Amino acid sequence: MPPFARLFSVALVVCRYRLLSLLPAHPIRPLLVFLQYLVPTSWRGTGDLSEGERLRLALEELGPIFIKFGQLMATRRDLLPPDWTDSLARLQDQVAPFDGGEARQKVQANLPKPFDQVFATFDERPLAAASVAQVHPATLLDGREVVVKVLRPGVEMRVERDLRVMGFGARILEKLWADSRYFHPVRVVRDYQSVIRGELDLEQEASNSETMRRHFLFSSLLHIPEVHLDVSSRQVMISDRIYGIPVNDIERIKAAGIDPRALAERGVEIFFAQVFRHNFFHADMHPGNIFVNPANPDLPQYMAVDCAIAGRLSRHDLNVLGRMVLAVMREDYPMLVDLVIRAGWSNAPIDRHRFEQEATQLLAPVRSASLEQLEFAPLILRLFDLAREYHIEAPVQYVLLMKTLVHIEGLGRSIYPQLDIWTVGRPLLEAWMMEEYGPAATLNKLRNRLPEWTAQLPEMPDLLRDALENLRDHPQRQRDMEFRLALNLRRNRRRALAGIGGVALGLLAGIDALLVGSGWAWPLGGAGAVLLAWSLRA
């Protein structure tokens, strides 16, 4: 059950920015818009604000968890219009730090040892503060300088409350609007839930950090600070403190004698190594999390922190991604289209010829541009725009990956504007493809699978007969499935309508109780609760 007090406050903000007017066409939409205008918060109007700006301001007013959701959705150009994603990209997560004494108490409560047996010093003034946690400098008894990341008090309860509200809204939307199957609001919210819950689990962040640190332990490309696992927990994480130059401080980087071109190209190498060699990538590489080690200017090394959000692709998805990127780099657009269609990401039939024409028209001019004009990130965003037109939805791990690539290229070009991600990346990708799918790799896979195939050979006639029988019975099963789907759709629509009616009656009850005082608040609220309970029943 969603928390009704929070649901009511969210509904008021939704009405304040008239977000119900942004819903897709539906017979019930005029009624919802009418109810929206009955709420006093909507009477102020929205002026000349665009749809995207109204959405952005509403999320900022709803607080940090909704802001983080908006920041993630800013990368989903395969699902949302460009005006929305451009506005969401400007969301700012600005949160004041909480009391340092309270942070110290929380650290002490979550340590496996007494506080004085772990720390020689602990600075109650935070180095940084965010919506989920804040970071304090400290010193261990052996003299090592560390940083202590501690979750905000009560943040888990607030996150779960807001996630339940989001999930409730997504279920209502998906049940009521048949076209929502093209952007799967329930699945999108579920994907976000896994991301934000990962940020709340500092043990998971510590595990991600240590995994990534082992991958680059003897590499001059990337340094990940060591986490002190013996004194870390789900609420507190202690890791070595690093001293590096912020990656967006170009003047200090040049003053340290670091070649900007070498630094930018090594950033591209890190991206391809994380994705294709280790299949484990840092998915939050914005400038606040990346630094440059000035110790060895001839071989510049990046330093990364905050590995709470990390991505990993399945072997199939990694194969599809590698072939797609290589197809773009080789300008083999028919192969790119074949890969997208075979990946099964579309929720509707694709006109292959038209899709190939539009992809070629989009990609060919970009690939023929001069080096200074050739940018990968805008190309990715335009490809997502094209994907949305064909109801093509990439898996969430791909979205995290594309977000990372956009950050990498943005950082690289801020350091060295002539960065050519295509020229740097192509040999790395081709070497990986040869290693994974070349003749030697193919022979090795055949040798490994031969015993399994030999064992299955006697069963092949029975398997073939079963397959033919399944094909014969397929039409009847298909008709049965279509009937059940239609029945469930009608049932879900009735429940969704009841849920919206319940929320509307609850809003009217709140308005009556707060502003009108006619005595109808309790009957309206009771009727709304009954409708809402019926709509949410299992």
The residues annotated as belonging to the active site are: 284
Helix crossing, 460-511 with 29-38: angle to 10°?
30
Contacts with 176 (C-beta within 8 Å, 6 or more apart), sequence order: 26, 28, 493, 496, 497, 500
Antiparallel, parallel or unpaired: β 119-122 and 133-140:
antiparallel
Q: What is the dihedral of CA 346, 348, 353, 354, to 10 degrees?
A: -100
Contacts with 237 (C-beta within 8 Å, 6 or more apart), sequence order: 148, 149, 202, 203, 205, 206, 227
Q: Which helix (H) or strand (E) holds 123?
A: none
* Distances 414 to 54, 56, 290, 334, 486 between C-alpha atoms, Å: 31, 27, 13, 33, 53
Q: Which amino acid is at 447?
A: R
Structure tokens at 440: 């030697």
Structure tokens at 260: 């900007």
Sign, CA torsion 141/143/144/149: positive
Bridge partners (DSSP) listed for residue 121: 139
| Residue of 233, 232, 218, 198 whose CA lies nearest to 311 | 198
Q: How many Å apart are CA 216 and CA 277, to the nearest integer?
A: 11
Q: How many Å apart are CA 125 and CA 122, to the nearest integer?
A: 9
Structure tokens at 382: 């335009």
Please report the DSSP string for 401-433 in residue order: HHHHHHHHHHHHHHH-TT--HHHHHHHHHHHHH
